[in-house]
Structure 1
């Protein structure tokens, strides 16, 4: 079954369940923004089909206008504020940019917690009701998700050990990953994904942390030559709707939104991310770039070296007012262990 048919099946089931409700002849246009290019799988496999199936499920009441990265509403740093302000009705964004807005959710970014997108995404969704919900006031949370274990990609300097990281300027996506890079001896540089190519090309940064997918979607294989498959961290994302927008929708449209979101949507990110990563790996292989996997011995060195950083990061969250930071971290570890064993 294709991805498109799976979404369509959810929409059809919702439409059938709602067939007995009175028709509500309304024309509703929802504005949806995200920060990734239109060639990215998040746009082609997730956002566009989700929007189309909402239109179908609502029997044409709803149309969705999409603003991807590169448009006036596609700035990665503004996704949360745009949807809260009602500038857009729905947004997909990166939790770590701008820094500090989702400290509880950032626990999923802690090194060595998980390297699987499916497990990380489902863990976030399990954590949400009890531990994370207060960070999303004013928002109807449609999904939380994360990517597969990230790599360390560099332009001119191969990295295979901790010592190789010393002094490298590495683009970072979140506070937890910044702390990890600093502990490993690198200099973290905060940049939106769309600015990485130019800064690598100009030598402003020496490398970046990403999963494989941006190597293709942002054409980074052109400016990267070395890839360390470290898999020691992940980064998380939100897919949210303005709560007032949701509350103002007819009940049948709300039911369509619900049927296409939540558990059913979150469960799809594992397979999706495997698909999105494949072209990035292929691009690096086709170029002939050097791809190295972090050895088991080196991984244990990193794990030991990063434990003080993990403790310090949890201390910093507590200092910021997340009194139960260690409880959230333990709950995340428990969910990861349980889901990984399935």
Structure 2
């Protein structure tokens, strides 16, 4: 009996060794996504939430994505970039322009009358990032680099119907370059993140704002102004550049197969997707303004040309400023224009 027992023990040990150790459970990852707009706004609802579901599905549930809109995890919109850089959160959607002067090369896309619609310009923005912005964004893992659609003027009262109407208006601007543009055009710029804009309008702190149509709906801008002014042609007064990005260390900590999931949901196609969502969000905003009876003003080609001539001062000044920093601003503007023309087509 002892021999049988001893033989059984040996055979059991051999079987256990042959089978190897039990496989470790597949790594589970949670990504916390933090951003500044309400969950129902176009980008959070029609891009970030679907992106999160796709990542979860592609990872077969090994990546879980938690969404935190409206700065629910604390801080202010200008702090979002550092939140993702420092690992306070895992993913953010934000504007580099919220931290003035920190990302100078990205400002080329925010110069006046350089960009077109969001879907096409966002493809150019990703290509521009790959060529010119890798160093500025070296501390994060960009998932998408994109722009919003054409920015326009939303102003109280009779609004803006010619260049001279800008004089003395207090207008909210989103970034350093857009604020310089507003000042050059005769207005008094008031810098603030977009969530602060409705309160500033309702309290009379500002007379108007510049934003694309898509953001006017969740922030109820059409209820707070009377006139909306856009421009002729396929180049807009301005656009802002955005980044949807992941903490670099978090990305690098992923196993290879989960890195592939993130990589497959990043890049030019993803950037185009966000841009498309922003373009599609413009139509409902415009419809609400029309339904309220607000004035919809489109400046004709002759008047638009007057604005372009004055706005050129902003581009010239930016190029000179970049030269002082050892950056070839003219080359950046030329390449930005080339890439935008590649996707948007020639300026008309």
Asked if Structure 1 and Structure 2 have the same fold, meaning a TM-score greater than 0.5 normalized by the shorter chain, the answer is: yes
SS at match of 1:106: helix
**Is 1:336 the equivalent of 2:324?**
no
**Is 1:255 the equivalent of 2:256?**
no
Counterpart of 1:323? Answer: 327
Kept in 2: contact 1:24–1:250 (CA 8 A) = no
Counterpart of 1:11? Answer: none
Counterpart of 1:297? Answer: 302
Counterpart of 1:65? Answer: 66
Counterpart of 2:96? Answer: 95
Superimposed CA distance per residue, residues 283-319 of structure 1 (whole angstroms, 9 cap, x where no aligned partner): 1011100010011001111111121221012212333
Counterpart of 2:12? Answer: none
Q: Report the Cα distance in structure 2 between the residues aligned to 1:273 and 1:127, rounded to whole angstroms.
A: 19
Deviation >6 Å, runs of 4+: none
Counterpart of 2:4? Answer: none
Kept in 2: contact 1:36–1:74 (CA 8 A) = no
Q: Report the Cα distance in structure 2 between the residues aligned to 1:72 and 1:251, rounded to whole angstroms.
A: 29
Q: Report the Cα distance in structure 2 between the residues aligned to 1:234 and 1:101, rounded to whole angstroms.
A: 18
Counterpart of 2:142? Answer: 141
Q: Report the Cα distance in structure 2 between the residues aligned to 1:266 and 1:102, rounded to whole angstroms.
A: 19
Superimposed CA distance per residue, residues 210-260 of structure 1 (whole angstroms, 9 cap, x where no aligned partner): 010121011111111110013311111001111111010011111011111
Counterpart of 1:116? Answer: 117
- 1:4-19 to 2 correspondences below 5 Å: none
Superimposed CA distance per residue, residues 90-114 of structure 1 (whole angstroms, 9 cap, x where no aligned partner): 1110121121221101110000101
Kept in 2: contact 1:215–1:283 (CA 8 A) = no
Counterpart of 1:25? Answer: 26
Computing the radius of gyration from Cα coordinates, the structure with the larger value is 2
Counterpart of 1:276? Answer: 281
Change (3 A) 1:74 1:23: farther
SS at match of 2:251: helix
Kept in 2: contact 1:36–1:69 (CA 8 A) = yes
Q: Report the Cα distance in structure 2 between the residues aligned to 1:220 and 1:322, rounded to whole angstroms.
A: 40
Q: Report the Cα distance in structure 2 between the residues aligned to 1:259 and 1:70, rounded to whole angstroms.
A: 27
Counterpart of 1:235? Answer: 240
Q: Report the Cα distance in structure 1 between the residues aligned to 2:97 and 2:280, rounded to whole angstroms.
A: 24
- Unmatched runs of 5 consecutive residues or more in structure 1: 1-21
SS at match of 1:218: coil
SS at match of 1:87: coil
Q: C-alpha displacement at 1:74, in angstroms?
A: 6.6
Q: C-alpha displacement at 1:24, in angstroms?
A: 5.8
Counterpart of 1:155? Answer: 156
- Unmatched runs of 5 consecutive residues or more in structure 2: 1-22
Query: Once structures 1 and 2 are overlaid, which stretch shifts more, 263-272 or 229-238?
Result: 263-272
Change (3 A) 1:243 1:24: farther
Change (3 A) 1:227 1:97: same
Kept in 1: contact 2:43–2:274 (CA 8 A) = no
SS at match of 1:26: coil
Aligned Cα RMSD in Å?
1.6
TM-score with structure 1 length normalisation? 0.90
**Is 1:197 the equivalent of 2:201?**
no
Kept in 2: contact 1:67–1:74 (CA 8 A) = no
Q: C-alpha displacement at 1:267, in angstroms?
A: 2.1
Counterpart of 1:168? Answer: 169
Q: C-alpha displacement at 1:50, in angstroms?
A: 0.8
Q: C-alpha displacement at 1:119, in angstroms?
A: 2.4
Q: Report the Cα distance in structure 1 between the residues aligned to 2:153 and 2:326, rounded to whole angstroms.
A: 30
Counterpart of 2:54? Answer: 53
Q: Report the Cα distance in structure 1 between the residues aligned to 2:43 and 2:284, rounded to whole angstroms.
A: 14
SS at match of 1:288: coil
Counterpart of 1:131? Answer: 132
Q: Report the Cα distance in structure 2 between the residues aligned to 1:100 and 1:133, rounded to whole angstroms.
A: 16
